[in-house]
Amino acid sequence: MRYEAPKTTKEAATFLKKEKGAAFILAGGTDLLVKMKLGLSEPDLVVDIKKIPAMNAISHSATGSKIGGAVSGAELGEHKGLCKTWPGVVEATNLIGSDQIQSRATMVGNLCNASPAADSVPAMIAAGAKAIVVGSTKRRTVPIEKIVTGPGQTSLADDEVIEAITLPKRGKKAGDAYLRFIPRTEMDIAVVSAGVNLTLERGVVKTARICLGAVAPTAILVPAAAKAIIGTKLDDEALEKLAAACSAACNPIDDKRGTIEYRVRVAGVLAKRAAKIAFQRAGGV
């Protein structure tokens, strides 16, 4: 195995393009090193992206915020501005693993590992986040929901790296939230999860995005659930419609951690609760 730590994203993409064997990106290593240990991945090349300045930065502009691909969960949680503007995204990311894991794990790694139960992904999709994808010859910006195509599968080309995640600019009357169900209080993988992001106008929901995790091969955006609450003050009737739309959108597996019936039902319950938190954070009453 070769280890490379390039200084620019383009260099990283070029290393990936030139490698004939198995090449992997190393950010926090909380998935890659586990797979290497278990013999599930045998890299010929590991490209460490943590020496790339753009990967380590959190920045803000007129269009929103940008979080580098190597920013750890701990660094995200310590960023007061993002905790205030996108609490749901930060909380979702901070739910991943222990403090030890938080020191290393990244949102982009969570995304590219492509687990259907990844915690940060439904929150990012609900937020309308985008990925800045850098290849050896071109750059493109891709909505997060277009990155994961199935369990362990992404739409990225062999020479592409995600340099950063962008979050849109935030108005005052806006809020987001993420909830997951696990049978313990810490250190577990979501059985069902829900991310909700909404904005208000005169106390009424103006826009909404609702995304579910762990109930389908990928995280799923549920436009019907958003439609159920747009134009409402999140009254009980709207919440019931939201829950029904979420349950209807589920296509989960049956496993030891949750049955199909259970996951379908809990998806609606969690979406309702997350919507209430997001509504409150947006200043709704």
Partner 1 sequence: MSSVLVSTTINGDPIEFACPPEETLLDSLRDRVGLTGVKEGCGTGDCGSCSVTLDGRLMCSCLVLSAEVEGRQVGTVEGMVENGQLHPLQESFIDNAALQCGICTPGFLIAANALLERNPSPTEKEIRYALAGNLCRCTGYDKIVRAVQVASKEMRKKSKKTKKK
Contacts with partner 1, residue ranges (CB under 8 A): 1-3, 5, 26, 28-30, 33-34, 36-38, 43, 46, 48, 50, 72, 74, 97-101, 103-104, 186-187
Considering beta carbons, is residue 5 or 57 the nearer one to partner 1? 5
* Closest separation in Å from C-beta 53 to partner 1: 15
Beta strands in 110-238 (DSSP E): 130-134, 139-143, 148-150, 153-154, 161-168, 174-181, 192-201, 204-213, 220-221
- Element counts in the chain: helices (H) and strands (E): 12, 14
Q: What is the rounded distance in angstroms from the CA atom of residue 241 to the CA atom of residue 89?
A: 24
| Shortest reach from residue 266's CB to partner 1, in Å | 23
Q: Quick one: 36 or 224, whose CB is closer to partner 1?
A: 36
Nearest-approach distance from CB 158 to partner 1, in angstroms: 21
- H or E segment to which residue 2 belongs: strand 2-4
Task: List strands edge to edge, sheet with 2-4.
Answer: 2-4, 45-48, 23-26
Q: Smaller CB distance to partner 1: residue 46 or 215?
A: 46
For partner 1, the closer of residues 2 and 138 by Cβ is 2
Q: How far is the CB of 94 from partner 1 (least distance, A)?
A: 11
SS3 of 5, please? coil
For residues 60 and 285, what is the distance between their CA atoms, to the nearest angstrom? 30
Q: Which is nearer to partner 1, 187 or 204 (CB)?
A: 187
Nearer to partner 1, 51 or 265 (CB): 51
Residue ranges with strand state E in 45-191: 45-48, 58-61, 64-68, 130-134, 139-143, 148-150, 153-154, 161-168, 174-181
Rounded to the nearest whole angstrom, what is the least distance from the CB of residue 92 to partner 1 in the complex? 17
Least distance in angstroms from the C-beta of 90 to partner 1: 16
